Amino acid sequence: MKHGISSQRRLLVAVSISVVLLVAVTPVALASSNEQPVPRLVLQITVDQLRADMVERVFDRLGPGGFRLLYEQGAVYATAHHGHAATETIVGHTTLATGADPSVHGMVGNIWLDRETGLLAYNIED
């Protein structure tokens, strides 16, 4: 294998995806019939380099769908922070999706050294 991720990394990604799915499905299973309906699906949209204030600056010019719909009917975290300094794509997206820090979820950079092969591996290569 020229480039690749270890079986531990694959397991970690699978566990992360499972956690996200579990978080999305569990509230539905726990909701009682006389409570307000709980969403059946949680959709996370992460846009690199898009700060909350950028959308707010043009909010009055947004149409009824798209970002306006997301802002009005979704959860918006205008001052959310997470405790890691690495700002590479995989680090932030995995932290947002799992709620875990990079030291826990294992995605510490977009590219890392595969110690078995001595080659650089991209985070999503298989």
Cβ 121 vs Cβ 5: under 8 Å:
yes
Q: In which element (H, E) is residue 120 found?
A: strand 119-122
Q: Which of the following is catalytic: 87, 89, 95, 98?
A: 89
For this structure, is 87 an active site residue?
Answer: no
Query: Which tokens in the block code for residue 83?
Result: 């405790």
Query: Which amino acid is it at 3?
Result: H
Catalytic residues: 89
